[in-house]
Amino acid sequence: MRRRVTHPIMEPLGIDGAWRHTPVVHGDARGAVLEAFRADLLPRPFDLAQVNCSISKRGVLRGIHFAEVPPGQAKYVTCVSGAVLDVVVDLRAGSPTFGRWETVLLDDEERAATLIAEGLGHGFVTLSDQATVIYLCTAPYTPAREHGVHPLDPELGIAWPEGVEPVLSPKDEAAPSLAEALAAGLLPSYEVCREFYAALGRSGAMA
């Protein structure tokens, strides 16, 4: 059941550094208006550096992607058309929730968003015939510093929805498993990430 809220809600997920934002949607016969992003309501600093837009057909699975820290790349993700199952994975080596994943439904009804800290893995699968996803990012895309973990890795065990045949890019198909990425030293360090979060300049922002 979709939540209809009277004030914006920013709630932490079970992974340190990940949140779900539920905005107030003002709707009438003409359509709807909402505040899709407000930096002053975020639980951490977010310096916008790049905006990405992806358009995906049903079943397209993008991820699990992450960037080296520092500087990493925090993301604020929303689905402006259609519906996707958004996934956050703790890929930070040494984290107490290492390997844990959580899902958030992003769609064009509730208009929720996910806020994802640097060092966390991110991906989504398209549930509707087509979906448009907007990512606000704190750092520009830098190919040499971008990595991935295979989204269908049995060790991760992400519960992708049944009845949706995943469609992966060749790059994501070739991504290492979680164990392989850890052994190769590709994954961010939890301690390094915590130090980076603390340096963002807002006391307790990532606690």
> In 3D, which of 116, 97, 114, 115 has the Cα closest to residue 156?
97
Residue 7 neighbours by CB distance under 10 Å:
7
> In 3D, which of 134, 118, 140, 128 has the Cα closest to residue 65?
118
Residue 93, beta-bridge partner list: 189
CA angle, 47 then 53 then 54, to 5°: 135
Q: Is 150 a catalytic residue?
A: no
Give the 3-state secondary structure of residue 50.
Answer: strand
CA angle, 83 then 149 then 182, to 5°: 145
- Which member of 21, 65, 147, 150 is catalytic? 65
Q: Is 65 a catalytic residue?
A: yes
- Which member of 21, 76, 122, 135 is catalytic? 135
Q: Which residues are catalytic?
A: 65, 135
